[in-house]
Amino acid sequence: MGMIRPIHPALSKKLVALETRKNELEEQALDPKVSSDPQRSRKLFQELGNVRKLVASKHRLDDLAKQTHEHEELVADGDEELAALASEELPALVREYEETLTDVETRLLVGDEHGERNAILEIRAGTGGDEAALFARDLARMYERFCERQSWKMQAMHLQESEHGGFKEAIFEVVGDGVFRLLRFEMGGHRVQRVPVTESQGRVHTSAATVAVLPEAEEVDLDIDEKDLEIQATTSSGPGGQHVNKTQSAVRITHVPTGLVVFCQEERSQHKNKARAMQLLRARLYDLEQSKLAAERAQTRKTQVGSGDRSQRIRTYNWPQNRVTDHRLGENYSLEKVVEGDLMPIFDALLRKERDDRLAEL
C-alpha cells in the first residue's frame, strides 16, 4: 500500500470481530437486567468503552489508508500543482496512520484487561542497608514526579521509614488514565551505584530496591469472605506526631487462607485505614490469581517484557557516570532526567519492543 505498512492479517481479523462484539455489548447495555446490576453494568461498560476505542481507531485507520492512497496517486498523476499539494500533506497522513496503527497493535497484542486500571505501587529497600532505604525514597520521588507529568494522583497508603529518612517500605495508590499500562514496566529489581552519604572514604557502593506494581482490583473481580479475615486495630508507628502514636487508628488485616497481611496507618481515622487496607488486600489477592495465570501463559510465550518478573533486575542507576541503563532494552538514559521523572522515553521503547516481539510471534 505504498508508503504505509498494512496491519497484520491476524490483527485485522480481531478488529473485524470487535465490530460484532461492540454491537453485542450495546444490545446488552439496553437490557434492564444489566442496568439493575451495578457490578455487571460497570464491567460491561468498561469493556464497551475499550471496544469502542478500538473500533473507532479501525475506522480512522481505514480512512487514513484511503487518503494516503489518493494522495500517492495525485503525486504520481503528473499535475504539478496537485502533486505539490499532495506531497506537502502526505507526510502528516503517513505519520498519523503509523501512530494510530502502533496504538491499535499495542492494545490488541498486550490487551486492555488491566491497562486502564489504577495501580498499587510498592517499593521496598533491598540489599544495602540505609543506602538502599534512601534509594527507595529516591525511587518514590522519581515516580511522584512522573505522576505529576502525567496528571496522575499518587497517594501514600503505607510508609515505613528508616533511621536516616529513607523508606524500608513504601506503598502508594496511583490513580489516572492508563496507569497500569505504563507502571507495570517498573516491576523488578532496581540497582543503584553511588557514594553513600555515610561513606567517608568516597567509595562507590551498590545497593538495591525492588518495585512491585499491582493492578487495582474492584469488588467485582473477586469475592472476599469476611470470615477469612482477622482485623486488628493498633497504634501507628514511626514519625507522625502525638495523634499518630496515641490513637489506635492503624489497621492490620490478615487473610487467613493465604497468610497475606496488610497494614495501613497513613489516614487519621481507623475507618479510612481499614478501607485502605482492604483496597490493598484486594489488589494483592487479585495479583496472586493473575500471577498464577501469567505463569501458565509464560510456558507458551517467548517474550516476557513487562511480565512482572520481580526477580529480574531491570535497571541500574549509575550516579558517577550520570547514566541509567535499562537492561531489557540494553540502552542508556540520562540519570538527571530519569530521576526527575522523565520516564516516557523508556516506556515508549519498552512498548515498541513488546509490540514487535508479540508481532513476531503471530
pLDDT at 114: 63
Angle 297-301-307 (CA atoms, 0-180°, nearest 5)?
70
pLDDT 10s digits, 88-109: 999 999 999 999 998 898 888 8
Q: What pLDDT does residue 259 have?
A: 86
| Burial class of 88 by CB neighbour count within 10 A (0 to 12, 13 to 18, 19+) | exposed
Tens digit of pLDDT for each residue in 345-356? 999 999 889 888
pLDDT in tens, 18-38: 999 999 999 999 989 888 888
**What confidence category does residue 170 fall into, taking pLDDT thresholds of 50, 70 and 90?**
very high
pLDDT of residue 236: 65
d(CA 176, CA 154): 9
Tell me the percentage of the chain whose pLDDT exceeds 90: 46
pLDDT of res. 247: 60
For position 324, what pLDDT does the model report? 97
CB 108 within 8 A of CB 82: no
CA dist., res. 174 & res. 144, Å (int): 9
Supply the pLDDT for residue 271.
Answer: 83
Percent of the chain clearing pLDDT 70 (strictly above): 87
Type and span of the H or E element at 44: helix 38-77
Q: How confident is the prediction for the chain on average, in pLDDT?
A: 85
Q: Which of 191-205, 281-295, 323-337 has the highest mean pLDDT?
A: 323-337
* Strand ranges inside the chain, DSSP E: 119-125, 153-161, 167-175, 188-194, 205-215, 229-234, 250-255, 260-264, 313-318, 323-326, 331-334
Q: 268 or 183: which carries more pLDDT confidence? A: 183
Residues 49-54 have a mean pLDDT of 90
Confidence of residue 361 (pLDDT cuts 50, 70, 90): confident
**Cα–Cα distance between 139 and 131 in angstroms, integer?**
12
CA distances from 61 to 67, 82, 87 (A): 10, 24, 20
Alpha-carbon gap, residue 308 to 123, rounded angstroms: 14
Chain centre distance of CA 245:
35
pLDDT, tens digit (0-9, with 9 covering 90-100), for 206-222: 999 999 998 887 665 67
State pLDDT tens for residues 117-151: 889 999 999 988 899 999 999 999 999 999 999 99
Question: How much is the pLDDT for 285?
Answer: 85
